[in-house]
Amino acid sequence: MLRIFFSLVILFSNFNFASAEDFKLTKILEGLNSPWSLSFVSQNEVLITEKSGNIIYANIENKKQKKVKHNLQVLEHGQGGLLDVLYHNKKVFISYSEKRKDFESSTSIAQGNYSNIKINFKNIFRAEPQIESRYHFGSRLVIQDNYLFASVGERGQGMIAQDPTKHPGSIIRINIDGSIPKDNPKFKGKNNWLPEIFQIGVRNPQGLTLSSFDQKIYMSNHGAKGGDWFGEVKFGENYGWKLLGWGGKNYSGTVIGPKWKSGFTKAIHYWVPSIATSAIAIYKGKEFNDWNGHALITSLKDRSLRKLIFKDIKEVKEDIIFKNKIGRIRDIKIHKKTGKIFFLTDNGYLWKMEKK
């Protein structure tokens, strides 16, 4: 009995539950159809993607919302559909599962001039090859300076993530106009890599964010049966899927590979069993100012918001802020002016989190 007690102490020493709820959650919008991503256009205006293919313009002050017309060829199939949206300097960037041929599709990225009525998009990236699969599209977008980073899932194809001559299972970096940076890995010693690829060896990365504190890009990634992780995007490196299992197993129960081994990028934090990591953010704001620089991780499986203090990566501290309060959390955004936190949930709501 004593041994069991000490085992439980060790198990729970790596994270803490929030001891007191000093925040409140408020529904801002409802009636959304499987919303996937949110981007602020102004202080009160947002664009929201619905996986079925709709772009929604909404005012979070007066609660009015309407559909924005567009020309994207979206294939909603399994986990695919209209995915991330990012507003930047009067332009809108979208990642989506593009219908290519019959049920073959790719994780594609398009750009268009902003309008709340109609947006004509043009593709600036297509993941090749096109694949018939309903799984693991990724996909999040981040802009750093003149670069656009995007996460591309491996479409359930496993070892394709170790093939740098194919895009699935990688982090890509292109210029915001779609051209290829001349200092990407291909031009710096990775001769056999596709020119857009920045990093390989990921499975289904649905979180990507830029930290304004250290100017690094961080990501979250779904493992299989266990092995979700949070880590850093690194030039020309390899997270190891499917040579590594990150602590997880195949759904059949068979072993995939070691959690980590030398020569591969090591994640900052792992979850075994999986929590189904979704969108992430590095908090910056005044509403929860003691959280500045900490990572906020959202979960689909246990419907939680988790906070990671990872300044010392040898001793990462995890707090569970809440669980099972608002549903499966699909996206998280921090309001730049107020620091209040906004969530999209699969059940069709936009939520605001603020201090009581």
Instruction: Considering only residues 103 and 341, tell me which one the structure prediction assigns the higher pLDDT.
Output: 341
**Section 144-172 average pLDDT:** 97
Paired sense of beta strands 304-309 and 317-323, if any: antiparallel
**Section 246-255 average pLDDT:** 92
Query: What mean pLDDT value characterizes the chain?
Result: 93
**Section 73-78 average pLDDT:** 92
Above pLDDT 70, what percent of the chain? Answer: 94
What's the pLDDT score for residue 351? 98
Instruction: Considering only residues 7 and 47, tell me which one the structure prediction assigns the higher pLDDT.
Output: 47
What's the pLDDT score for residue 3? 45
Q: How far apart are CA 50 and CA 58, in angstroms?
A: 13
pTM for the predicted model, two decimal places: 0.93
pLDDT digits (tens, 9 = 90+) for 114-132: 999 999 999 999 999 999 9
What's the pLDDT score for residue 11? 43
* pLDDT interval class at 212 (50, 70, 90): very high
List, in order of start, the domains of the chain with CATH numbers. Answer: 26-355 (2.120.10.30)
pLDDT digits (tens, 9 = 90+) for 215-248: 999 999 999 999 999 999 999 999 999 999 999 9
Residue 84 has pLDDT above 80, yes or no: yes
What's the pLDDT score for residue 17? 52
Residue 6 has pLDDT above 80, yes or no: no
What's the pLDDT score for residue 86? 98
Instruction: Considering only residues 12 and 169, tell me which one the structure prediction assigns the higher pLDDT.
Output: 169
Instruction: Considering only residues 11 and 32, tell me which one the structure prediction assigns the higher pLDDT.
Output: 32
pLDDT digits (tens, 9 = 90+) for 318-349: 999 999 999 999 999 999 999 999 999 999 99
What's the pLDDT score for residue 101? 87
Tell me the residue ranges of DSSP E strands in 187-276.
197-200, 204-210, 217-222, 228-232, 269-271
CB 53 within 8 A of CB 68: no
Residue 165 corresponds to which tokens in the numbers above? Answer: 């001559």
SS3 162: helix
DSSP secondary structure, 81-101, as one string? SEEEEEEETTEEEEEEEEEEE
Residue 183 has pLDDT above 60, yes or no: yes
What's the pLDDT score for residue 103? 85
Indicate the residue type of 211: S
